[in-house]
Structure 1
Amino acid sequence: MSHTIPGYLTSAELRTKARAKLGQTPQPDARDAHATEAMGVLYELAAAPDTAADALALLHELQVHQVELELLAEAQVAIRAQLEADLARQQQLYDCAPVGYFTLDAQGHLMELNLTGAQQLGVDREAVLGQRLDDQLSPMDGASLRALLARIAQGDATQAATHLTLAGGAHGSRRVCASAQVDPQAGQILLTFTDWPTP
Structure 2
Amino acid sequence: MPSHINEPNVYIQLRDKAEAQLQAGTASAASHWSVGVDALRLLHRLSSNPDNAEDALKLLHELQVHQVELDLQNEEIAANEQALVEDLSLYRALFDSAPLGYFLVDIEGNVIQANFAAAELFGIERDELEGHPIETFLLAQSRPQLLGLLQQVTQSGARGSCLAETAGSTQGSRYLQLLASLSPERKHILLVCRECANAG
Report the TM-score when normalising by structure 1.
Answer: 0.74
Matched, 1:78 2:79: yes
Deviation at 1:154, TM superposition (A): 6.2
**Contact 1:120-1:168 at 8 Å conserved across structures:** no
**Partner residue, 2:185:** 185
The amino acid across from 2:185 in the alignment is Q
Cα pair distance change 1:98/1:32, threshold 3 Å: same
**Partner residue, 2:147:** 146
Paired with 1:19 and 1:44, the residues of 2 have a C-alpha distance of 25
**Partner residue, 2:128:** 127
* Long gaps (5+) in structure 2: 3-8
Paired with 1:68 and 1:122, the residues of 2 have a C-alpha distance of 56
Deviations 1:77-135 (A, max 9, x none): 11111111111112222222222222333443223323322222222333332322121
Paired with 1:66 and 1:75, the residues of 2 have a C-alpha distance of 14
Deviations 1:12-61 (A, max 9, x none): 222122112212168x9894555376346414532431221111111111
Deviation at 1:175, TM superposition (A): 3.5
Deviation at 1:151, TM superposition (A): 4.5
**Contact 2:31-2:71 at 8 Å conserved across structures:** no
**Partner residue, 2:103:** 102
Deviation at 1:163, TM superposition (A): 2.5
**Contact 2:33-2:67 at 8 Å conserved across structures:** no
**Partner residue, 2:6:** none
**Contact 2:114-2:129 at 8 Å conserved across structures:** no
**Contact 2:154-2:182 at 8 Å conserved across structures:** yes
The amino acid across from 1:111 in the alignment is I
Structure 1 window deviating more from structure 2 (12-21 vs 180-189): it is 180-189
Matched, 1:69 2:70: yes
* Long gaps (5+) in structure 1: none
Matched, 1:56 2:42: no
The amino acid across from 2:178 in the alignment is A
Cα pair distance change 1:15/1:47, threshold 3 Å: same
Deviation at 1:68, TM superposition (A): 1.0
Deviation at 1:159, TM superposition (A): 3.2
Alignment of 1:6-85 (within 5 A): 10-23=10-23, 24=25, 31=32, 33-35=34-36, 38-39=39-40, 41-43=42-44, 45-85=46-86
Structure 2 residue matching 1:190: 3-state secondary structure = strand
Cα pair distance change 1:56/1:29, threshold 3 Å: farther
Deviation at 1:153, TM superposition (A): 5.3
**Contact 2:154-2:186 at 8 Å conserved across structures:** no
Cα pair distance change 1:42/1:151, threshold 3 Å: closer
Deviation at 1:147, TM superposition (A): 4.3
Paired with 1:153 and 1:33, the residues of 2 have a C-alpha distance of 55
**Contact 1:39-1:59 at 8 Å conserved across structures:** no
Cα pair distance change 1:56/1:149, threshold 3 Å: closer
RMSD of equivalent CA atoms: 3.5
Q: Percent identity?
A: 32
Structure 2 residue matching 1:50: 3-state secondary structure = coil
Cα pair distance change 1:181/1:33, threshold 3 Å: closer
Structure 2 residue matching 1:10: 3-state secondary structure = helix
